[in-house]
Structure 1
């Protein structure tokens, strides 16, 4: 398999499994990446295989992902399928000698995620998880502020993603516990958990105290369409549509995390707020379709005078940046440094949150 960086090296041969919205972002990114040939696609939807394959000139089209792994002669593959398929597909791809970029959440639970990391370590291949919102320009700018030391010691943070009405696939795999692993916290809360810990410098979460609620989904309300959604007959709503968590961090810090698919608020909201010994900061975005907003604030003092800083914000990288970073990790030749261990730590936090919500007590992480 091609992993070197020599100018004379053949291009990396890429494939994508799953052609929903996220999978299509991976397809576009590989198609535009230098030194990459997009050679294979796998999906059950034959019309998507045809249209996307035609649009990018991809000859390898498979309705069986295992056949694609066996026949397409790939170097790298993206997996953008329902959550419960992430672990078996990733393990199979790694065992076939491929480097893997998998969509978030890593897996339906930490046990399945741990199998992925073990497979990456055994195969000596890169395993990366696509947390695309970490690639936002304002998040990168705030990370630079934190690294500069302006905020001092960060001892407290709050993060959340709240939707007014946005349960995805109400009545589908998204709302079944065995296939999704969880609801709003697993789907979008994990983005904010990843973002907050990334901004804070990767503190270890030691314990979780959480609560979950399901007030919209069981009634067929809160779907991403307008009004009452059609619920598949016999498919119950088994996950939460709102979750909150109090997370203890090593060194005594704390992080509050909230996520909702549906809630009585005026518009969708995303935010991370950091509180340090020498300054505070927040990044937030959301709003209505008519009045969206993006804000980045940094508060500190200069020579004893309160000051608000305005960091320069670059473009949002999103999935394309996730793919670019993954390819750089593959080309580095240092697979041992990129085994998915950080994403596994996120999965263990989520497991602790759900265990805490079920027991009504604080639960140690891991």
Structure 2
């Protein structure tokens, strides 16, 4: 299938293009970009791939099946709706939308048009998370009581600044999605969100969120890009023991370093030094990290289009994440715990945005 990549910033160049190239059933047929430096980078990275000045120009070409939207967060809804109206299947990068109303409108439009809309939540495929999921599925931890999920980076220069950006929409989208995927729907949300003032406007730069899941489990997620700290940890407590793993996913590290999954024989393979530890009645033991590959997301998306199935991260699942992020902003501003009143967290039925 011929895919148009809309945007070629850090995300499009590092976390989309290389994994599309390594996927089965899909190829990059064009890129939307305007600035001279990005056009030059595309010519270097993707020789021979045509560049379009706008999504409208790419649509007018008439030869594309799929688009991936990797532009700034505030543009996701209008661009996604434009692509859907043109009959294209869409992968929308996180954050899916600025708010729940916009997200539901996009999901509703895709259902009515009969196209597939998925959200690029690649960090469901981080090696630490898929290894943890396998331990939970095998019953190694018993019933999960609480999870601490922390992602700190000394990278304030990578932050989308201004009220339309911020860390909550950036890393918060990943961390909330991971916890809902792992532990199920959320019932209550509490949060602390801290801000800094930049020339572009007031921007949230770190947060702590407490989620109480319908299952009875609790998750505590946190991230910062403002405290000169690099630290990644998942710590899990269950009725049979605990599991702790540290370290940024090897795929993210290698992608940023310029390595590519299509040319790597051991892509997604963590060194033993990055393995986690399972603590149980018989004592601690190291758990080999499972291999994972972000490229599988695009392989599965292309297959879902062919088979008429849901795809790896259907839009309706990401509505739950957007709802939690909206609630976190309210909780942080009010100092109160927010109960999620909608049925959205506990249903897979698409929500009519006009009712929100």
Q: Structure 1 263/352 Cα, relative in aligned 2: closer, same or farther at 3 Å?
A: same
Residues 25 and 302 in structure 2, CA contact (< 8 A), matched pair in contact too = no
Q: What SS does the corresponding residue of 1:39 show, helix, strand or coil?
A: strand
Partners of 2:149 and 2:95 lie apart in 1 by 17
Alignment of 1:98 onto 2:84? no
What's the CA shift for 1:315?
Answer: 3.3
What's the CA shift for 1:268?
Answer: 0.7
Alignment of 1:211 onto 2:192? yes
**In structure 2, which of residues 277, 287, 293 is the aligned counterpart of residue 311 of structure 1?**
287
Structure 2: segments with no counterpart, 5+ residues: 254-270, 343-356
Q: How many residues align?
A: 319
2:156 is matched with which residue? 167
What's the CA shift for 1:147?
Answer: 0.8
| 1:156-176 deviations in Å (ceiling 9; x for gaps) | 11112122x322456xxx221
1:334 is matched with which residue? 309
| 1:58-82 deviations in Å (ceiling 9; x for gaps) | 4431111222123242111111110
Partners of 1:72 and 1:29 lie apart in 2 by 24
Residues 283 and 297 in structure 1, CA contact (< 8 A), matched pair in contact too = yes
1:363 is matched with which residue? 338
Q: Structure 1 189/284 Cα, relative in aligned 2: closer, same or farther at 3 Å?
A: farther
Residues 15 and 74 in structure 1, CA contact (< 8 A), matched pair in contact too = yes
Partners of 1:138 and 1:339 lie apart in 2 by 22
1:152-191 superposed matches below 5 A = 152-163=142-153, 165-169=154-158, 174-177=160-163, 179-180=164-165, 183-191=166-174
Partners of 1:66 and 1:247 lie apart in 2 by 40
Alignment of 1:250 onto 2:239? no
What's the CA shift for 1:337?
Answer: 8.9
Structure 1: segments with no counterpart, 5+ residues: 1-11, 219-230
Q: What SS does the corresponding residue of 1:310 show, helix, strand or coil?
A: strand
Q: What SS does the corresponding residue of 1:251 show, helix, strand or coil?
A: coil
| 1:33-92 deviations in Å (ceiling 9; x for gaps) | 343332111012233234414543444311112221232421111111101111111121
Residues 94 and 120 in structure 2, CA contact (< 8 A), matched pair in contact too = yes
Partners of 2:217 and 2:25 lie apart in 1 by 43
Partners of 2:233 and 2:173 lie apart in 1 by 13
Q: What SS does the corresponding residue of 2:274 show, helix, strand or coil?
A: strand
Q: What SS does the corresponding residue of 2:104 show, helix, strand or coil?
A: helix
Q: Structure 1 328/53 Cα, relative in aligned 2: closer, same or farther at 3 Å?
A: farther
Q: Structure 1 72/324 Cα, relative in aligned 2: closer, same or farther at 3 Å?
A: same
**In structure 1, which of residues 261, 280, 283 is the aligned counterpart of residue 225 of structure 2?**
261
1:300 is matched with which residue? 280
1:113 is matched with which residue? 103
Alignment of 1:45 onto 2:35? yes
Alignment of 1:240 onto 2:204? yes
Partners of 2:39 and 2:327 lie apart in 1 by 39
After superposition, the CA RMSD in angstroms is 2.5
Task: Provide TM-score, normalisation by structure 1.
Answer: 0.79
2:259 is matched with which residue? none
| 1:301-325 deviations in Å (ceiling 9; x for gaps) | 3xxxx2334333233423x233233
What's the CA shift for 1:336?
Answer: 8.6
1:9 is matched with which residue? none
Partners of 2:12 and 2:148 lie apart in 1 by 30
1:15 is matched with which residue? 4
1:347 is matched with which residue? 322
| 1:202-249 deviations in Å (ceiling 9; x for gaps) | x211111112112xx33xxxxxxxxxxxx64xx32x122121122111
**In structure 2, which of residues 166, 182, 197 is the aligned counterpart of residue 199 of structure 1?**
182
Partners of 2:37 and 2:62 lie apart in 1 by 20
Q: Structure 1 242/40 Cα, relative in aligned 2: closer, same or farther at 3 Å?
A: same
| 1:258-315 deviations in Å (ceiling 9; x for gaps) | 1111126xx311222221112221232159x9xx9734122223xxxx2334333233
2:348 is matched with which residue? none
